[in-house]
């Protein structure tokens, strides 16, 4: 597959650039087993200072409607701490205390603290991606992402982004496609 360009990103096949992927992401791609071929998972280097969604989209000309955020959410049920990841477009925010709380079957859900999210995922904050997360975690993917031919997500590090078909996110081992997971936000608040 030839490298693709999205905005000003210049992408390459992700497995050809392991230096641009966090270790858990490399491992997940090395054992990729889904209908979407691993060769369609691409990676592009970026300035790590521009990894946060709003800055990234502005600097690289990538639309927020094809840029996805992956957030780690935690909650307790009967003393048991539970984790999940939510993948939503940058034009939305995850409905953490509505949809996500119910899906996790917890009394209250909240974003996991940064140090905890980094430690548990083996990824850098601002680069956390649904690819290569702990295998017991559900990955909730907003239905709006699934049919996109290309969506941009983190790579596990702040110095690159992964570009892949939305269907590949839906095909992750613990993925659940959820309609309405993302709540629309105003353009100024999309980040």
CA distance 109 to 95: 10
Pairing of strands 160-164, 42-45: antiparallel
pLDDT in tens, 162-186: 999 999 999 999 999 999 999 998 7
Number of compact structural domains in the chain: 1
In terms of residue numbers, what domain contains 59?
Answer: 5-189
Span between the terminal Cα atoms of the chain, in Å: 31
The model scores a pTM over 0.85: yes
CA distance 160 to 14: 10
pLDDT band of 1, cuts 50, 70, 90: very low
The CATH number given to whatever domain includes residue 76 is: 3.90.960.10
Q: Are 111 and 75 in contact (CB under 8 A)?
A: no
Give the model's pLDDT for residue 6: 86
Q: What percent of the chain has pLDDT over 70?
A: 95
């Amino acid at each position: 597959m030839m490298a693709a360009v999205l905005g000003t990103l210049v992408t390459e096949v992700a497995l050809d650039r392991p230096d641009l992927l966090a270790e858990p992401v490399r491992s997940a791609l090395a054992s990729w087993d889904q209908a979407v071929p691993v060769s369609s998972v691409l990676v592009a280097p970026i300035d790590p200072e521009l990894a946060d969604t709003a800055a990234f989209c502005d600097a690289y000309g990538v639309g927020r409607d094809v840029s996805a955020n992956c957030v780690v959410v935690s909650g307790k049920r009967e003393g048991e701490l539970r984790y999940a990841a939510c993948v939503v477009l940058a034009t939305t925010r995850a409905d953490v205390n509505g949809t996500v709380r119910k899906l996790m079957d917890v009394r209250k859900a909240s974003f996991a603290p940064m140090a905890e999210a980094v430690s548990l995922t083996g990824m850098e904050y601002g680069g956390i991606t649904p690819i290569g997360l702990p295998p017991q975690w559900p990955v909730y993917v907003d239905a709006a992402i699934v049919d996109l031919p290309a969506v941009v997500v983190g790579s596990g590090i702040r110095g690159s982004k992964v570009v892949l078909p939305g269907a590949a996110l839906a095909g992750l081992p613990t993925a659940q496609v959820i309609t309405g997971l993302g709540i629309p936000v105003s353009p100024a608040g999309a980040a």
